[in-house]
């Protein structure tokens, strides 16, 4: 799984769904490199999403 795959997926979903539903949405993920990359975080921010990563090892 690559960052590009997830960035592209968010882009597709944002164009096929009502984009206003992304404002204030919380995206919960693990600490994988694809989710913590600058590109993925920038895409989420542009869509108005907030990212939440749980604690490690709990």
Query: For 4-58, how does the pLDDT look when each residue is reduced to its tens digit (9 = 90+)?
Result: 998 998 888 888 877 777 788 888 988 989 989 999 999 998 888 899 998 887 6
In angstroms, rounded to a whole number, what is the distance separating the alpha carbons of residues 17 and 33?
26
Of 8, 18, 19, residue with least CA distance to 43: 8
The whole domain housing 32 covers: 3-53
The whole-model pTM stands at 0.75
Contact 47, 19 (CB under 8 A): yes
Instruction: Give me the number of domains the chain comprises.
Output: 1
| Domain-embedded: residue 19 | yes
- With vertex at residue 16, the alpha carbon angle to CA 5 and CA 44, rounded to the nearest 5 degrees, is 50
Q: Is the dihedral of CA 24, 25, 31, 37 positive or negative?
A: negative
| Domain-embedded: residue 23 | yes
| Domain-embedded: residue 18 | yes
DSSP at 55: P
| Domain-embedded: residue 11 | yes
């Amino acid at each position: 799984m690559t960052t590009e795959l997830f960035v592209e997926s968010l882009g597709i979903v944002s164009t096929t769904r009502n984009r206003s539903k992304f404002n204030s949405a919380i995206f919960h993920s693990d600490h994988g490199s694809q989710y913590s990359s600058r590109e993925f975080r920038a895409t989420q921010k542009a869509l108005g999403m907030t990212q939440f990563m749980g604690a490690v090892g709990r």
